[in-house]
Structure 1
């Protein structure tokens, strides 16, 4: 009998602790982050315009102003570091005093460049590729060698020779993204990054009918960093 009472006395605190933990657990927020139509409400704010979904380790960059550009300006530069989740000063990036992983340039910052160690169309470190798979449906980076240094936006005035992340309607100066395409970076240190460009318009509007309808360029993208070098696992759901 003594053993029975001792067991009960030992179990009761554990039961109360378990109940207390259940009571303290708050439900996960549903829907989207206020002011967005694509960022999960459960994200944690890291900085102005940058959020982290701790559930899947996906970083969201939301409505980040990239500068003032016109369609005639073909040489703007915007450098980004995936580790610090921040912009890198252009001069420091060019001189090599600060590390960058992606450079956005050309019309409306629409070309996505990797920090490649070799010329385009040759194997090397710091390369980039695009696959025709939606972001969350891409579980693994392909095994085949990566040779591209950049991913442009396709132009409707000419046939695409390589896949781009979206389509630029030249007559209207309007950009659309392809929802079923995901970009993969293979950084110089061997890590893979899964990246999706969603919009260069403020608010990530589902439809754009006029070039003056929404301010641009505003970076809206998301990415996942596989921290284990050369692991091709990119699962985010």
Structure 2
């Protein structure tokens, strides 16, 4: 009898220990890992958008064969903020199908659809986009500047360091090299633009590079082998909003 009682006691004790051990194992098991959120949404081969709404265009290749550089509408590559895409040449004369245009085979000068671009067409365009050229960190510019800062008379361009120190509408410093007169365009980190579109929305815009691989410290040789691949980023406000916050 005693043996049976002891046997039962051992069985109950073993069961109790098993239950406790099992409970502990469950409690000690690591919590399931949360799925990683996608940092970017892919728009197309060259374009993506981050979770804060900033759109990045990287290494878009300018069509070297199509650009004639004879100062007509075929001398430019056109981009539309509304569709986050480049548009075809046949839409170039439309005042509503594009917002900015990159000039020539390297795309270093950027014109907007409006006053500054009209002298390159036989007939004036009807677009009336405006632009404010600013200095500061892209994410630090959180609100649209005063209306008086906006103009429709200038393009975003490259120029010498001396002129860049005085004027805000110069996104990169151009330098001639003694090596066969090769040129480099080095971006100015603190220069950017805010476009006011005809529908009242605002676009915070930062030109990054005209070199393949989004180079920001190019060599003179890079101009010969890697130019004509443009990279930039921008953020579009909601209609009626002046909030340019991109770091949330």
Pair in the same fold by TM > 0.5: yes
* C-alpha distance after superposition, 1:40-74 (max 9, x if no partner): xx212111111011x210111011101228xx947
Q: 1: CA distance between counterparts of 2:208 and 2:218? A: 13
RMSD: 2.9
Residue of structure 1 in register with 2:40 after alignment = 43
Given candidates 187, 193, 214, the residue that maps to 2:203 is 193
- 3-state SS in 1 of match to 2:92: helix
Aligned CA distance change for structure 1 residues 91 and 64 (closer, same or farther; 3 Å): same
Q: Contact 2:237/2:244 (CA < 8 Å) preserved in 1?
A: yes
Residue of structure 1 in register with 2:139 after alignment = 136
Deviation at 1:127, TM superposition (A): 0.7
Number of equivalent positions:
196
- 3-state SS in 1 of match to 2:220: coil
Q: 2: CA distance between counterparts of 1:68 and 1:157? A: 28
Instruction: Structure 1: give runs of 5+ residues left out of the alignment.
Output: 1-21, 30-41
- 3-state SS in 2 of match to 1:137: coil
Deviation at 1:221, TM superposition (A): 0.6
Q: Contact 1:113/1:149 (CA < 8 Å) preserved in 2?
A: no
Q: Contact 2:54/2:235 (CA < 8 Å) preserved in 1?
A: yes
Q: Give the greater-gyration-radius structure (CA).
A: 2
Given candidates 60, 65, 76, the residue that maps to 2:61 is 65
Aligned CA distance change for structure 1 residues 73 and 167 (closer, same or farther; 3 Å): farther
Residue of structure 1 in register with 2:226 after alignment = 215
Deviation at 1:152, TM superposition (A): 3.2
Q: 1: CA distance between counterparts of 2:117 and 2:213? A: 36
Q: 2: CA distance between counterparts of 1:158 and 1:138? A: 25
Matched, 1:153 2:174: no
Instruction: Structure 2: give runs of 5+ residues left out of the alignment.
Output: 1-30, 119-126
Given candidates 12, 36, 48, the residue that maps to 1:27 is 36
